[in-house]
Amino acid sequence: MSNVKKTPAELTHDSVSNGVRSILPENKNPILRQIARELPVAEIGTKNIQGLIGEMKALLAKEKYGVALAAPQVGEPLRLFIVSGRALARGSRNSPDEPEHDAKETDVPPPPDQVYINPKLVKMSRGKSNKHEGCLSVRHQWGIVPRAEKATVRAYDENGVEFTRGAAGFLAHIFQHELDHLEGVLYTDKAIEMYEEDSDERK
């Protein structure tokens, strides 16, 4: 241990094991229960932070049902999450027990993944509905969580440019789930019902 204060970029470098990051399960990742630190805007362009973003994108791309990933899920206590371009391109839930409504095959590639650094929730609707929800840190389980139908987030992108994005439905749901991760909260804390993933989905 050390009492020397380090920058978020240095903390990111120190937390990598064998040079490879992975999505850590809840029982092996105490950082999931910590409040994440803000990242100084001047450090967004550093090699360590850009490397973290790149690795998170790669990990997310490997996940069949993954729609977003927060830095605490890979052991990094930073206020950063990424939303998959696949999630932005689809209009249905990512729970395996929910069919894709009016899904159509398309040759159009999904938009790029979106990076949210130091995100702040600036607006959220009062109206809520129950959503099916899962988490890459809590494998083989799903739950039903009350979530607001609309949400607006202000954040910095991977180039250090501030932006604001409003969302409804699926993306608003993702915002709330990922923002919870940055506060040390898991969806299981808010679920009103939990259920196990079908064995066929684990194959």
97-149 confidence digits (pLDDT tens) = 444 444 454 567 889 999 999 999 999 999 899 999 999 999 999 999 999 99
Which segments within the chain are labelled E, that is strand? 68-70, 80-83, 114-124, 128-135, 138-148, 150-156, 162-168, 193-196
Which band of pLDDT confidence, cut at 50, 70 and 90, is reported for residue 65? Answer: confident
Report the C-alpha gap between 168 and 179 in whole angstroms.
15
pLDDT at 14 over 80: no
Task: Between 39 and 90, name the one with better pLDDT.
Answer: 39
Question: The pTM is what?
Answer: 0.82
From 178, 183, 197, 201, active-site residue: 178
The architecture that CATH gives domain 23-98+111-202 is Alpha-Beta Complex (3.90)
> How would DSSP label each residue in 83-137?
E-HHHHH--S---TTSPPTT-----SPPPPPEEEEEEEEEEE-S-EEEEEEEETT
pLDDT at 7 over 50: no
Task: Between 18 and 159, name the one with better pLDDT.
Answer: 159
**β-bridge mates for residue 78, sequence order:** 37
pLDDT at 30 over 70: yes
Domain limits, the chain: 23-98+111-202
**What is the arithmetic mean of pLDDT over 9-30?**
68
Task: Between 10 and 56, name the one with better pLDDT.
Answer: 56
**CA proximity to 137, closest of 29, 43, 38, 45:** 29
Please say whether the beta carbons of 159 and 45 come within 8 A: yes
In this structure, which amino acid lies at residue 54? G
Average pLDDT, the chain: 84
Question: Is 178 labeled as catalytic in the residue annotation?
Answer: yes
What is the SS3 assignment for 14?
A: helix
Residue 86's pLDDT is: 85
